[in-house]
Amino acid sequence: MRRDLSLVIRAMRAADLSEVIAIEQSVYEFPWPRRAFEHCVRSGYHCVLVCEDAQPEEAICGYAVMDVQLRQAHICNVSVGKAWQGQGVGQFLMRALMGHARMRGAARAYLEVRPSNHAARAFYDQLGFRQVGLKRDYYRAQVGVEDAYVYQRTVGL
């Protein structure tokens, strides 16, 4: 992480969604729609932002959506704005997610990732996630659909 970054985690609110959607659309070819974020915030998913605290308006660097049920955490969305990538923001966010999952009693965390997203796969490998499954035809793609690799790791690590 860049030494001059002062990052904080806070809950995502409905008022944040315009900025969240702007980041989502800038980093994904097939972004989540606003209604998906609205549903997650309303339904009690663990929806958080990572912000640079030193900024006057608390700049949103990234966000995550996770659901924890039955001792399992499902990480639904993890995104870091392009300007913040490669500076440790994603690692900071993932540590916060694992801490929350542990606090909620989860033993394992799962997520899906596109096979074509080599950067994300390397990132999750570095964090101790391992591929444990495959979901066929999971993601929309430029031509047809793309599978998803299912990654898992123990929360307590």
pLDDT at 53: 79
- pLDDT category at 157 given cuts 50, 70, 90 is low
- Residue 14 inside a domain? The answer is yes
- Residue 95 inside a domain? The answer is yes
- Residue 121 inside a domain? The answer is yes
- Residue 120 inside a domain? The answer is yes
CB 49 within 8 A of CB 23: no
Q: How many domains does the chain have?
A: 1
CATH code for the domain of 27: 3.40.630.30
- Residue 26 inside a domain? The answer is yes
Give the integer Cα–Cα distance in Å for 120 and 111.
Answer: 11
pLDDT at 59: 84
Enclosing domain of residue 119: 7-154
- Residue 12 inside a domain? The answer is yes
Whether 12 has a pLDDT exceeding 60, the answer reads yes
Mean pLDDT value of segment 40-68: 89
CB 68 within 8 A of CB 101: yes
- Residue 2 inside a domain? The answer is no
- Residue 1 inside a domain? The answer is no
Question: Residue 34: CA atoms inside 13 Å, Cβ hemisphere, count?
Answer: 9
pLDDT, tens digit, 9 for 90 and up, residues 62-116: 999 999 999 999 999 999 999 999 999 999 999 999 999 999 999 999 999 999 9
